[in-house]
Each structure stands twice: as C-alpha cells, then as structure tokens.
Amino acid sequence: MKYNLKNVYDPSLPHKINDFINYLGTIKGKSTNTIDAYKFDLTMFFRFLKLYRGMVANNVEFENIDIKDIDNDFIRSITLSDLYAFLAFVENYRDNGNYARARKVATLRSFFKYLQGKAKIIDENPTSELESPKINKRNPIYLTLEESKNLLNAIDGKNKERDYCIVTLFLNCGLRLSELCGIDISRIKGDTLTVTGKGNKERTIYLNKACIKAIERYLRVRNANADKIKDKDALFISRNYTRINKRTVEMLVKKYVGKAGLDTDKYTPHKLRHTAATLMYKYGDVDIRSLQQILGHENVSTTQIYTHVDDEKLREAVKSNPLSGEYEEDTTKK
C-alpha cells in the first residue's frame, strides 16, 4: 500500500510528531498501517503525559485532550520514569497485554531515536534504558487440513465466486489482509501474482491450480459488470463496485467460519495466513527460508513460529525410538 500523501500534515498533532510521521513515510518507506499505529501510540502517550502532569481539567475526556501545544521544551522534559508510568497506565487502564505494550515501547524508541539522531532536539534519549515487556513465544493458531476444506465448502450465496477466491488465496498463498485487498488484476501474470507488503516491499506469489481456477471463475462473474466497476484494476470488488476493504473481508471470513462450525472469535483472516504457512510446512516439505520468502517476513525469526510440530508428530517420534519395543515384564520372584 502506498504512503498516503493526505496524511503529510495532521493539524491535531504536535509539529515534531508530524515531522516524524513524514520521515517514516518518505524516508523509511513504512506502510500506511504502520504509520497509523505509530500515530495512535504517540497521540495516546502525549495525552497521558498531559493528564499525568495535571495539565488538563478533570472534566475533559481522555480522547479530547489537546496535544497541539506540545513543544520542544516539553519533549526535552520527558524522563524514563514518565515512560514507565505510561506503560503502567496502558496496562492498568487500557487493558494492554504484553504484545500491545511491546509495540508501544517500539514506537517510543523509534520516535526518540529520530528526535536525537535526525531532528537533534534532545541530547539524552530517555528510551535508551527502556525495557520491553517479555513476550512468551506462542504457537500460531491455524485450521487443520480438514477444517480448511470445511471452510471452503461452507462458502455460498450471491458472492460465492468472489468469496471462494478470497478464502482460497488466503489458505494457499498466506497473504496478509492488506495484500489481498490491494491485489490488482494487472499484477497477475500466468501463475504469478505481485503484491505489495509491509514497508511497501513487493514480492512475487506463485499461484497453484486451485488459485488459478478460483481467480478465473471469479473474473467471469466480476467482468459481467465491468461497466459498473469504479476501480477497474482492483481484483476484488465490493457491492458498491469499488475495491473491497479490509472490514468487508473480515466480516465475510467470520460468516463462513461460523457456517463451517468453527470458532468465529478464534479464526480471522490473519489466522488463515497462519493456516497456509502451517500447511505448507507440514505437508509440503517447505524449508524455513522458502517459507520466509513466501510470507514476506523480513527476519527468519518471525517465520520460525511455523516450525512447531503437532502432537501426532511428537507421538510418532516417541514411537520411533528403537527402544520402544524393548519392555519386558519383571519376572523376578518376590
């Protein structure tokens, strides 16, 4: 997804946050989703600081705290204690778990690194000693092969061809939600699809027979209304004949997950990405480096969560021990 130029300046934000947001978009090439997350975290941080320091009236709602007046002197006054107070606030009053707080730590580190190294308005970086909450590694949540087939079989209705194609691409290609919504027809060439992932980085997705057939069937339906379509190059079209949005995809996935008798709170589009990765690793004999490239992970450490093995493999591993059949009953006389 391209950086959105209309977000170059937000009058509700302090000058230095706007500068930082522009730096992320134009120099670092961060995606719109990443930029929005940084903006959200920093807005919450400065609203908290004004509240924490008694700079707002008691009757002002948190979401209405004005932070436009944050200046360089205010920024220079921020200490490590302020940062830990903020993390305590989001844990106790915003119900942020370790993952959410770790993201906020990453945002603050990036922002203050920019202020020190690029904007040069601070000499000491208060985040240099800021620790991130410990995150325990968790196995990804995914559908089994049988559950994946049941999900595909549950798809019906007037948008069946489109929805079947969407779920098929999720389950076979491991696409991110934003990548799927951003697919352009012009980027499909034979059995290859070019998508734009995190950080506006392009990668090539190879389409198997199921994906190619699903796309072909859907295009026949889609193109029957070609004259009404507003986003001509968008593959997936909404009922308004514009490019489908992420919320619509989330809702249709939830609907079919329910129809398949699965947990609608547990299985989201991102869990379908987990499913594709797990099935490729489990059944396709795909090595970790290939899987990294397929999923578009910058670091292989991110991909390693898919190298988990299920209970059946563990059971078979124990059974394969050459000593597994060597048990003899104790015949010693008592």
Instruction: Note whether 39 and 13 are within 8 A (CB).
Output: yes
For residue 299, CA distances in Å to 50, 160, 293, 302, 305 come to: 37, 36, 10, 6, 12
Residue 140 placed within a domain: no
- Residues 153, 297: one domain? yes
244 neighbors 252 (Cβ within 8 angstroms): no
Shared domain for 254 and 182, answered yes or no, is yes
Span 141-188, pLDDT tens digits: 888 899 999 999 999 999 999 999 999 999 988 898 999 999 999 999
Q: How far apart are CA 313 and CA 309, in angstroms?
A: 6
Same domain, yes or no: 76 and 218: no
pLDDT band of 293, cuts 50, 70, 90: confident
Q: Which residue has the higher pLDDT, 290 or 83?
A: 83
Which two three-digit tokens encode residue 20?
């930082």
Question: Both 297 and 170 in a single domain?
Answer: yes
Phi and psi dihedrals of 76, rounded to 5? -65, -20
Rounded CA gap, 35 and 8, in Å?
11
Whether residue 36 is found in the same domain as residue 177: no
Same domain? 44 vs 192: no
Higher pLDDT, 243 or 285: 243
> 315 vs 138, 147, 246, 311, 328, CA distance in Å?
20, 22, 40, 6, 21
Number of structural domains (the chain) is 2
* Domain containing residue 206: 145-310
Of 100 and 140, the one with more pLDDT? 100
Give the model's pLDDT for residue 319.
66
Tell me, yes or no, whether 320 lies in a domain.
no
Known catalytic membership, residue 327: no
Task: Render pLDDT for 29-50 as a digit per residue (tens, 0 to 9).
Answer: 887 878 999 999 999 999 999 9
> Residue 151 falls within a domain, yes or no?
yes
Q: What is the mean pLDDT of residues 311-315?
A: 55
Q: Is 114 a catalytic residue?
A: no
In this predicted structure, the answer to whether residue 51 has a pLDDT above a threshold of 50 is yes
In a domain, 132, yes or no: no
> Does 47 participate in catalysis according to the annotation?
no
Respond yes or no: is residue 134 known to be catalytic. Answer: no
**Number of Cα atoms under 13 Å in the Cβ half of residue 142:** 26
Q: Which of 28, 103, 109, 198 is catalytic?
A: 198
| Same domain, residue pair 294 and 161 | yes
Determine which one of 47, 162, 176, 274 is catalytic: 176
Answer whether residue 203 shows pLDDT above 70: yes
Which candidate in 47, 243, 273, 274 is catalytic? 273
Q: Of 74, 75, 53, 137, nearest to 102 (Cα)? A: 137
Nearest-angstrom CA–CA distance, 201 and 31? 9
The overall average pLDDT reported for the chain is: 86
**Residue 277 contacts residue 174 (beta carbons within 8 Å):** yes
Find the angle CA(128)-CA(131)-CA(135) to the nearest 5 degrees.
145
Is 270 a known active-site residue?
A: yes
What confidence score (pLDDT) does residue 6 get? 47
pLDDT confidence tier of residue 321, bands split at 50, 70 and 90: low
Q: Is the pLDDT of residue 57 over 70?
A: yes
Residues 320 and 325: their CA atoms lie apart, in Å, by 10
- For the question of residue 297 being annotated catalytic, the response is yes
* 150 and 99, same domain (yes or no): no
